[in-house]
Amino acid sequence: MKTKHWFIIIGIILAVVFGTLGLKMLFQPVDTVIKSVDMTYDVTDELLDADKAIYNYEWFKQQEADIRRLHQQEQNHQTAYDDYLAVLPEDKTDWDWQDKQELSRLRANVTAQQDMVNKAIEDYNASSSMVSRNIFKNNLPSNISRGLDAGSDLIFQ
């Protein structure tokens, strides 16, 4: 008789375990649908918040202005380099150590400024390609690039 009670207890435990697994498997699709709907609302609330929309739009506006400013500084550095090079003797053997140092410094300024412009363009274009951010551009350029020459004007598309 005691053996029979143990079989009943083990049967009840197995029924609870397999019953729980069965219910879990039965309701898992429903849970997935509920989580999907909740996730959609969460994403919408997170992305389409008015403060975030304003922030993202202003970020794009500020980046565009920064890129224009950095590019103008690059052109100023290039002009300084070209002007200094123009006053040097044509024969490089006539250049003294200071001339070479100054020309090197001016060239480094141009290169550094080009790097800053390129980084700002890459950041803008990367954010522009993100679905969660590009919806806030509202008539701002989708892509910014340089012309064919490294020092040529920027192209705002």
Residue range 124-153, pLDDT digits in tens = 888 888 777 766 666 666 777 776 555 567
pLDDT band (50, 70, 90) for residue 157: low
Q: How far is CA 30 from CA 12, 39, 43, 47, 153, in A?
A: 27, 14, 20, 26, 56
Amino acid at 82: D
Domain locations in the chain as residue ranges: 1-47, 50-156
Average pLDDT in the 95-122 region?
Answer: 94
Predicted pLDDT at 44:
60
**Residue whose C-alpha is closest to residue 124's, from 74, 72, 70, 75:** 70
Q: How far apart, in whole angstroms, are the C-alpha atoms of residue 126 and residue 55?
A: 17
- Is this structure's pTM higher than 0.75? no
Predicted pLDDT at 151:
54
